Structure 1
Amino acid sequence: MKVSTMRSIDRWVGIPICFMVSPFRWLADRIRGARKTPPDTSRTLFIELSEMGSAVIVDPAMRKLHLEGKAEIYFAIFNKNYKSLEILKTVKEENVFKMNAGNFVSLVMDVFRFMSWCRKKKISTVIDLELFSRFTGLLSFFSGARSRIGFTNFHDEGLYRGHIVNRAVRYNPHVHIGINFISLVNKALDKFDNPYATIPVHPHELQLERAIVSSEAITNINAKLQQLFPAWQGEKIILLNANASDMLPQRRWPQENFAMVATNLLEQHKNIIIIATGAPAEKEYVEEVVRKVNHPKCINSSGFFSFDELVPLYTVSTCMLTNDSGPAHFASVTALKVFVLFGPETPHLYLPLGGNAEPFYLGLPCSPCVSAANHRKTTCITRPCITGIQPLSVLERMHDFIEGNK
């Protein structure tokens, strides 16, 4: 389904269903005494359906719950986004529910399959990571879990999704999403009583694990690089990720800007090659960038590397320039230097973890224009927040980094 269709369903169908379900939730919780005892975290399900990057950002929170709450971790995610969970392998494959969102009928059928799966797995607690999604709120209720933890607007106006969550945490739009995720886990660990996350989140709690990359994977990726560019003689690899997901296309830096940076880098550095990455569906979009560069050392690799080969590719590369999208977070589990272009969203909330990401962000008065309050929807067409980032400033920073890593 299209993103716009899913948003419409979540609003026009989700709101009335949440309203009707809320009294039953209250009654069921009263009968079960859901609030009388701390959450049983022994079999905890995390729900994050639509954001591949968030599946990486939440990893420290999941590890914290596993360590402190002795929890077996489960996860529900859209089938097309599952690969993001495989990067760090924190969740066992048999503990992942992959939901099919291809069309409305398949989605409804999978809801019933989800209900059965949760009861088979004996899910005791659900942590809903989505920002005010009515659909995931309902999923948490349909899971049958006694404790349902998620974000609430509390005294804020709007963002209604009933009273499905029975252990609410007020979402804080002024701190990094990773901190918000840790706060949900602290709630599951019964560390604070009211909706306000009053327990500090320390920097070490946001420490992201590094992916384990085998020597065989490195050997394989080097062979594929040689196949992609037979003239490669071990030059440094600079990655460009010019596309961004259809969920928020306003995040895309103009193709000509990527091309300008690539062209100048190739002129300044003779010992590099530039690989433009992307999914198979992005091949034409990426090819337009490569055509503008018009240099034999700038290669379109869209669809050439599998998802499983991305982390090894990041491991052998020098740096990457990317829009604010999934690859920036996938690379955060490696030592790769990542330059991230932010526009309608802000690095203050969504900068990749790991310590190697450096943002380019203008911070215009209108930024960020997408948030939980508008379900990340914007009608801005001119996009000065992203188009206004000058290629020269990006080029200079990348040039300095490459020079410093000779």
Structure 2
Amino acid sequence: MQVKFMHFLDYFIGLPACFLLSAVNACLSLIIKKRNHENVKNVLFIKLFGMGSVTLSLAAVKRFIDQRPLCNVYYLTFASNKFVFNCVKNLDSVKILSLRSENLKFFIADFTAALYKIRKIKFDIVFDFEFFSRLPAIISFLSGAACRVGFFNKYTEGFYRGNFLTYKIFYNPYQHVAQAYLDMVDAIDKKNALPYNKIHDRNINDFRDLHLAFNNNKSELKNYRRETGLDKHAGLVLFNPNVSKGFIDLRCWPLEYYAEIGRLIIKNYSRVVIGLIGDKNDSERCGRLAEMIASGRLKNFAGNTSLKELCYLLDLADLLVTNDTGPGHLAALGNGHIVTLHGPETPMQFSPFTLNKSSMFLKLGCSPCGTIFNRRQTQCQDNLCMQMLAPSIVWSEIKKIIKIKNLRWK
């Protein structure tokens, strides 16, 4: 389904549904006593949209598991995001419930089946990680869970999601999303007044702080490196010139800028190979980029790798240069340095959850123009925030990284 159609359904069906369920909740609260969540058995996390956001939520899921290791943990997401959990170690116990979003028929069938299963499992706590989409809020109420946690900004107009959350977490646009998700997990044990997330910095700033990393088998990783010829080179630099349709188009750094950086790397470092990554939709764009760089030390993996092989590449990479998209967040599970190129969205909220990163952001007066509050919709047709991020700026940062990391590529 198209994103605009999902927004249409969310508004014209989700809005009245949230109002109706809020009325039901108000009536039930008069006759049913509030249940505690001390003896928690089953927990559900919900994050439907965005591979990057799903990846950022992993820290909160792992923290909850560490705090309550005996709980049965489930995660509801779109089917296209399921593979994220197959890439990460220490999250093997999480059971995935998925919804197909290719068309309305599949979505309705999967939604009905998932809701039936959710009711049957009888969850004690539901964490709604969506920002202001109404469907997860509706699911959290219909689950029958005693404890329902989600974002709730009382005085923010236009984002009514009902009034049936038991833990209302203030959405802070100046806080990193991964930290906001961690707040949700920690808030249920706090006795603070509203908003519940009056929580001081917990010193978790990286997936490694929670022992999260790729679960790649070392021997398989070594074999893949040999099969692809990467073992013949001292270093691997990946470019991710993602060109997915929709708002994300504006997040694309110009292709000729990638080409200029690629030629500079090839010219100055003789022991490094450049890899291009992307899905089948990126094949044509990456093919043009390969022609522009024109080097025997370039490998175009776009459209030719499985999701598991993508994880191999991200794990093997010393450096990733990427637009602000999912692979950049997934790469935070590896050991390489990530250079993310931001413009329409801010790294304050959406940078990879790792200390091994450089977030390039010019802070134009119009940036970020795509936010949670406008559902990432913008009037912009000319992304100067990305075009003005000159290759010389990025190249200067890359040289600093190579020096600091003591990468021996010459």
Range into which the TM-score falls when normalised by the shorter chain:
over 0.9
For 1:93 and 1:113, how far apart are their aligned partners in 2? Answer: 22
Residue 188 of structure 1, CA deviation:
2.6
Q: Say if 1:184 and 1:282 are closer, same or farther in 2 by CA, change over 3 A.
A: same
Normalising by structure 1, we get a TM-score of: 0.92
For 2:39 and 2:9, how far apart are their aligned partners in 1? Answer: 32
Q: Look up the match of 1:114.
A: 114
Residue 90 of structure 1, CA deviation:
4.6
> What amino acid does structure 1 have at the position aligned with 2:239?
L
Q: Look up the match of 1:355.
A: 355
Unaligned runs of 5+ in 2: none
Residue 358 of structure 1, CA deviation:
0.9
For 1:310 and 1:393, how far apart are their aligned partners in 2? Answer: 27
> What amino acid does structure 2 have at the position aligned with 1:122?
K
Secondary structure at 1:321 match in 2: strand
Q: Look up the match of 1:239.
A: 238
For 2:5 and 2:227, how far apart are their aligned partners in 1? Answer: 39
Match of 1:212 among 194, 212, 215: 215
Q: Look up the match of 1:66.
A: 65
State how 1:7-86 maps to structure 2 within 5 Å.
7-34=7-34, 36-38=35-37, 41-70=40-69, 71-86=71-86
Q: Say if 1:147 and 1:357 are closer, same or farther in 2 by CA, change over 3 A.
A: same
For 1:116 and 1:91, how far apart are their aligned partners in 2? Answer: 25
Q: Say if 1:41 and 1:182 are closer, same or farther in 2 by CA, change over 3 A.
A: farther
> What amino acid does structure 2 have at the position aligned with 1:315?
D
Secondary structure at 1:80 match in 2: helix
| Partners of 2:73 and 2:94 within 8 A in 1 | no
Q: Look up the match of 2:290.
A: 290
Q: Look up the match of 2:407.
A: 405
Q: Say if 1:196 and 1:123 are closer, same or farther in 2 by CA, change over 3 A.
A: closer
For 2:205 and 2:146, how far apart are their aligned partners in 1? Answer: 27
| Partners of 1:41 and 1:189 within 8 A in 2 | no
Q: Say if 1:89 and 1:378 are closer, same or farther in 2 by CA, change over 3 A.
A: farther
Unaligned runs of 5+ in 1: none
Q: Say if 1:39 and 1:369 are closer, same or farther in 2 by CA, change over 3 A.
A: farther
> What amino acid does structure 2 have at the position aligned with 1:124?
D
> What amino acid does structure 1 have at the position aligned with 2:232?
Q
1:260-279 CA distances to partner (integer Å, 9 max, x unpaired)? Answer: 11112111222211111111
* 1:387 is the counterpart of 2:387: yes
| Partners of 2:205 and 2:354 within 8 A in 1 | no
Residue 289 of structure 1, CA deviation:
1.4
Residue 13 of structure 1, CA deviation:
2.2
* 1:88 is the counterpart of 2:88: yes
For 2:325 and 2:261, how far apart are their aligned partners in 1? Answer: 19
| Partners of 1:211 and 1:334 within 8 A in 2 | yes
Q: Look up the match of 1:153.
A: 153
Residue 244 of structure 1, CA deviation:
4.7
Q: Say if 1:378 and 1:302 are closer, same or farther in 2 by CA, change over 3 A.
A: same
| Alignment RMSD (CA, Å) | 2.1
> What amino acid does structure 1 have at the position aligned with 2:238?
L
| Partners of 2:75 and 2:94 within 8 A in 1 | no
| Partners of 2:51 and 2:81 within 8 A in 1 | yes
Residue 74 of structure 1, CA deviation:
0.9
| Partners of 1:39 and 1:125 within 8 A in 2 | no
Q: Say if 1:325 and 1:384 are closer, same or farther in 2 by CA, change over 3 A.
A: same
For 1:369 and 1:63, how far apart are their aligned partners in 2? Answer: 32
| Partners of 1:43 and 1:72 within 8 A in 2 | yes
> What amino acid does structure 2 have at the position aligned with 1:272?
V
Secondary structure at 1:322 match in 2: strand
1:297-356 CA distances to partner (integer Å, 9 max, x unpaired)? Answer: 222111222111223222322211001111111111111111110111111111111211
For 2:243 and 2:84, how far apart are their aligned partners in 1? Answer: 16
User: For structure 1, which segment, 100-109 or 340-349, has the greater mean C-alpha deviation from structure 2 after superposition?
Assistant: 100-109
| Partners of 1:138 and 1:164 within 8 A in 2 | no
| Partners of 2:187 and 2:196 within 8 A in 1 | no
1:56-103 CA distances to partner (integer Å, 9 max, x unpaired)? Answer: 222221122222244332100100111112222454477210111111
* 1:277 is the counterpart of 2:268: no
| Partners of 1:83 and 1:307 within 8 A in 2 | yes
For 2:387 and 2:167, how far apart are their aligned partners in 1? Answer: 41
Normalising by structure 2, we get a TM-score of: 0.91
